[in-house]
Amino acid sequence: MQKFTETIGFIGAGRMATALARGCVQSGLVEAGQVLAADPTPEALKNFAEQTGGAKLASDNLEVLAKAQIIVLAVKPQIMPQVLDAIAEHVTEKHLLVSIAAGVTLGTLASGLPAGTRLVRVMPNTPCLVGLGASGYARGSSASEDDASRVQQILESVGIAFELDEPLLDAVTGLSGSGPAFIYRVIEAMASGGEAGGLSPDLAVKLAAQTARGAAEMVLRTSQTPAELRQQVTSPGGTTVAGLEALEKLAGPAAFQTAVEAATSRSVELGR
């Protein structure tokens, strides 16, 4: 990993911005002094500085633009137009703008900024908060391979990341963006099953969560497919077969596929 010489500025210092900044510092990608943030909420700025080990705080968004070269737009989608309007005349060719605002397209971003602005749109997910994120990103026509490499390194400081064509970010949103909520629902349901067998609620949740975590790590760390790994746990006439048959009868697997497809469709709708 090659350390950045640039300063990374954050417009917005909420939880996701803080997680990205903390990851960059903890991974050694930048020093805390190379991170700068602006936010109208004092509490958010205080937490940002604490979590990053002393990142600098800016008085406003224009100070971030004046002092940083990589600018992360970490604001709510509904206020993005007014943010772009306020900063547009201060954006120069030295800036790489990275948006993590859900549903705000590259076209929308470009329409509010000077022609030729280097842009990258990112779809992160909430496990970035614990360093286990799964993100997808797409670059605008003016962003270079080096720009993409910078964004890749930032996102890899809090998980894994993949560059995609922008239309595929809707599928990323439906799968990894909304997906944590689906997995939490699985953990809740499995824990309830454990409680029905006599386990305490606390123990059942811990066992279910660790089981989900362990199964996910098996997929990521081995070269085997989920289907192959499932077969290894499934003995003829055993407990796992009984459970899988119950899932199939209730269309459990199909329900989760449908959930991802529904979330993807909604992402497409919101992008319009």
Strand order in the sheet with 8-11: 56-57, 35-38, 8-11, 70-73, 96-99, 118-123, 133-139, 159-163
Task: Return the pLDDT at 1.
Answer: 66
Please, what's the b/e burial string for 182-214 (b: 16 or more CB within 10 A of its CB; e: otherwise)?
eeeeebeebbeebeeeebeeeebbeebbeeeee
- Percent of the chain whose pLDDT exceeds 90: 96
Q: Mean pLDDT score of the chain, rounded to an integer?
A: 96
The mean pLDDT of 166-189, rounded to a whole number, is 96
Q: Are strands 118-123 and 133-139 parallel, antiparallel or unpaired?
A: antiparallel
Taking the CB of residue 58, how many other CB atoms lie within 10 A of it?
Answer: 21
Reported as a pLDDT band with limits 50, 70 and 90, residue 270 is: confident
Task: State the Cα–Cα distance between residues 139 and 147, nearest whole angstrom.
Answer: 8
The mean pLDDT of 235-248, rounded to a whole number, is 94
pLDDT tens digits, one per residue of 121-145: 999 999 999 999 999 999 999 999 9
Please, what's the b/e burial string for 131-159 (b: 16 or more CB within 10 A of its CB; e: otherwise)?
eebbbbbbbbeebeeebbebbbbbbbbbb
Please report which residue ranges of the chain form alpha helices under DSSP H.
Answer: 15-26, 42-51, 61-67, 80-87, 106-111, 145-156, 169-172, 179-196, 201-221, 226-233, 239-249, 252-271
Task: State the Cα–Cα distance between residues 100 and 91, nearest whole angstrom.
Answer: 18
Q: Set out the domains of the chain in order of their start, with CATH numbers.
A: 8-169 (3.40.50.720), 177-271 (1.10.3730.10)
Task: State the Cα–Cα distance between residues 31 and 3, nearest whole angstrom.
Answer: 9
Q: Provide the residue type at 4 as one letter.
A: F
Q: Which of 99, 20, 90 is nearest to 55 (CA)?
A: 20
pLDDT tens digits, one per residue of 52-91: 999 999 999 999 999 999 999 999 999 999 999 999 999 9
Q: Are strands 35-38 and 96-99 parallel, antiparallel or unpaired?
A: unpaired
Task: Return the pLDDT at 233.
Answer: 95
Structure tokens at 173: 């949103």
Reported as a pLDDT band with limits 50, 70 and 90, residue 272 is: confident
Element (H, E) at 119: strand 118-123
Task: State the Cα–Cα distance between residues 91 and 142, nearest whole angstrom.
Answer: 14
Q: How far is CA 240 from CA 92, 104, 197, 206, 252, in A?
A: 59, 43, 16, 20, 15
